[in-house]
Amino acid sequence: MSAKSMFASKAKLSRSVLADLASAATAPLRKDRASLLIARFGIGVTACLAILGAYLIYDLRDGAWRRAETNAQNLLGMIEEAVSRNVVMYDLSLQAAAVRATQPNLIELPPDLRREVLFDNAASAAGLGVIALVDSSGQVQITSDPETTSRHSVADLPEFQRLKADPQAGLVITGPRTSRISGRSIMGLSRPIVKADGTFGGMVSGAIHLSYFQSQFARLRIDPGAHINVFHQDGTLMLRHPYGAGYVGRNVADGPAFLRHREERRGMFVGTSTLDGKDRLYAFANLEGLPLVVNVSTGVDSIRAVWLSKALWIAALILGLICVTLGSMLVLHREMTQRTVAEDSARTANAELSRLALTDSLTGLPNRRRYDAALDEAWQRAVRHREPIALLLLDADHFKRFNDHFGHHRGDAVLQALAACVLQRLAGLDAVACRIGGEEFAVILSGLP
C-alpha cells in the first residue's frame, strides 16, 4: 500500500476523528503558550522585586549620605562659630594691650597699676591663658596674672621672630606647643607692638588652652567615625577631637585633602585623609579673618556601616522572595506540564480509539461505519454540486472455501492484498475504498465528469 493511497483514504475520516486529531496536534502549542505565560509572569515578578530591592538599597545609601552631609554641615557651623568667637574675643584683648603698651611713661608706672592699664579689659576664662607683654629683645616684662612672676625670654619663639621681621603682620597664631608659663598644650596668639615711627617695639602674647576647645567639643554629639579638626593655614593640625596624640602637630600641607581647603573658602568633598589614610567625607571652612581652617571629617566606612547592614537584610528578603517566586513558578510549570501531558495522552488515546472505531484493523481501510458516513457525505456533496458519483461493490468469489482450505492466516493475506490492489488502482482519484464485510469491498467515486 503506497503512502499516497493511505493518505487519500484517511483524509476521508469523520469530523469527530479530525477534531480529535486537531486537538491532539494543537496541544503542544497550548502547552507552549501556558509555559510562556508562566515564564513571563515569573520573570516580571522577579524583575519587579529586583527593581524594588535596588531602589530600597539605593534610598538607604542616599539617605545615609544625605544625613552624614547634613550632620557634618551643622557640626561645622557650630565649630566654626565656637573657634572664631573665642579667638576673636581673645584677640580683642591682645589688640587693646598692644595699643596701650605704646603709651609714654607706661614703664614708669608701678607693676600693679601698669597691669591694670594694660590688661583692664583682657578676656578671662578657665581656658584662656595669661597675656604677656614682651619687649623688643624678647624678654617678658609683665603678665596679666599677678601670680606669674617669670621673666623668661621668648626671643626664640617663631611668633616673635615673625613679628620682629614684619611688625605689620597683625595677628599671628602658632602651635600647638607647650606653654612655658603653664606647661599646658596651647594655641599661641600674638600681636606686635608698633612704635610711633612704625618700628617693632615688642609684642603681646597669649594663649588658648587646647583643653578648653576639647571640653567644648566634647559636649557636641558627633557621628561615629567623625572627627573635628582645626588646622593652621600652613597645614599644621592644631586640634583634633576625639583627641589623637599622634596626629596633633603634624603638617599635612601637601595632602590632597588639605589642598582643597586652600582652593575654596568652604565646601564639601570626599577624599583620602593624609592622617590615617582612610576615605572620608570632608566639610570644611576657612575662618573669616583668621589663619585657621576647621573641618569635620566622617569616615566613609562609618557612613557605609549605617546603611549596609539594613541593605543586606533587604537584599536577603528580596532574594528570598525571588526564590519563592521562582520556586512557585517551577512548581506551577511542572503541574501545568503534568496536566498537559495527561490531557494530551487522553486526547491522543481518544483520537486513536475514534480512528480505530472507523478503521478495519486488518486492511487499514475504513470500515462499514465509516462507509455509511462517507457515502452520505459523498451523496450530499453530489447533490449540492450537481455532479455524479459512482459506487463500486467488490466481492472475492469462493473466499470462504479458500479460507477454510488454506486457513485464516492465508485468508487474511488475501484480503490485505485485495485492499492494497484497490488502493493502488484508486491512486490520484477522489475516491474512498472501504471494507464493508468479510470479503466485500466498496469504492465511492466522486468528482466524475
Domain boundary among 301, 329, 344: 301
One domain, residues 109 and 181: yes
One domain, residues 370 and 407: yes
> For residue 23, is it within any domain?
no
Helix (H) or strand (E) holding 48: helix 15-100
Residue 415 has a CB neighbour count (10 Å cut-off) of: 20
> For residue 233, is it within any domain?
yes
One domain, residues 107 and 162: yes
Look at residue 225 and give its three-state secondary structure: coil
One domain, residues 241 and 205: no
Q: What is the CATH number of the domain that holds 177?
A: 3.30.450.20
Domain boundary among 259, 281, 301: 301
Largest Cα separation within the chain, whole Å, is: 168
One domain, residues 195 and 242: no
With vertex at residue 33, the alpha carbon angle to CA 28 and CA 36, rounded to the nearest 5 degrees, is 120
> For residue 331, is it within any domain?
no
CA atoms within 13 A on the CB side of 185: 13
> For residue 86, is it within any domain?
no
Q: What is the CATH number of the domain that holds 371?
A: 3.30.70.270
> For residue 26, is it within any domain?
no
Domain boundary among 173, 193, 211: 211
Exposure string for 103-117, b = 16+ CB within 10 A, e = fewer: eeebeeeeeeebbee
> Cell for 66?
544625605
Residue 240, burial from CB neighbour count under 10 angstroms (0-12, 13-18, 19+): buried
> For residue 347, is it within any domain?
no
One domain, residues 202 and 257: no
Domain that holds residue 109: 97-211
One domain, residues 225 and 190: no
Is beta strand 431-435 parallel, antiparallel or unpaired with respect to 390-395?
Answer: unpaired
One domain, residues 369 and 268: no
One domain, residues 268 and 219: yes
Number of domains in the chain: 3
> For residue 90, is it within any domain?
no
Select from 264, 262, 259, 257 the least CA-distant residue to 297: 257
Q: What is the pLDDT along the chain (449 residues), one digit of tens a residue?
A: 333 333 334 444 444 444 444 454 455 555 567 778 878 888 888 899 999 999 999 999 999 999 999 999 999 999 999 999 999 999 998 998 898 888 887 777 887 888 887 887 665 667 788 899 999 999 998 888 887 766 788 999 999 999 999 999 999 999 899 888 778 889 999 999 999 888 999 999 999 999 999 999 988 888 888 999 999 999 999 999 988 778 899 999 988 889 888 888 999 999 999 888 899 999 999 999 999 999 999 999 999 998 999 999 999 999 999 999 888 888 887 887 888 788 888 888 887 777 777 788 888 888 888 888 888 888 898 889 888 989 888 888 888 888 888 888 888 888 889 888 988 888 888 888 898 888 888 998 887 77
One domain, residues 110 and 190: yes
One domain, residues 218 and 234: yes
Cell 541593605 identifies what position?
A: 311
Q: Is 207 left (phi over 0), alpha (psi -120 to 50) or beta?
A: beta
Residues 6+ apart with CB under 8 A from 167: 192, 194, 198, 199, 200, 201
CA–CA dist 71, 226 (Å, integer): 10
One domain, residues 194 and 252: no
> For residue 117, is it within any domain?
yes
